[in-house]
Structure 1
Amino acid sequence: MTMTYQGTTALITGASSGLGAEFAGRFAAQGADLVLVARRADRLEALAQELRGKHGVAVTVLPMDLGQPGAGRALAAELSSRGITVDTLVNNAGFGTRGPFAGEDPDVVASEIALNVSALVDITRAFLPELLASGKGALVNVASTAAFQPIPGMAVYGATKAFVLSFTEAVAHETKDSGLRVLALCPGATRTEFFEVLGSESAAVGIMQTSEQVVETALKALGGKATPASVVSGWANRVAAGFAQRLPRALTVAIAARAVQD
Structure 2
Amino acid sequence: MSEITNSNSNDWFESWFDTDYYHILYKERNDEEAQLLMDNLTQYLNLPEEARILDLACGKGRHAIYLNSLGYDVTGIDLSENSITEASAAANDKLHFKVHDMRENCDEKYDAIFNLFTSFGYFDEDADNLKTLKAIHNSLTETGFAVIDFMNADYVIENLVPEEIKTVDGIDFHIKRTYKDGYIFKEISFEDKGKKHQYTERVQALRLADFEKMMEEAGIYLLDIFGDYKLRKFFKTQSERLIMIFK
Q: TM-score range by the shorter chain?
A: 0.3 to 0.5
Q: TM-score, normalised by structure 2?
A: 0.47
Q: Which one has a larger percent helix, Structure 1 or Structure 2?
A: 1
Q: TM-score, normalised by structure 1?
A: 0.45
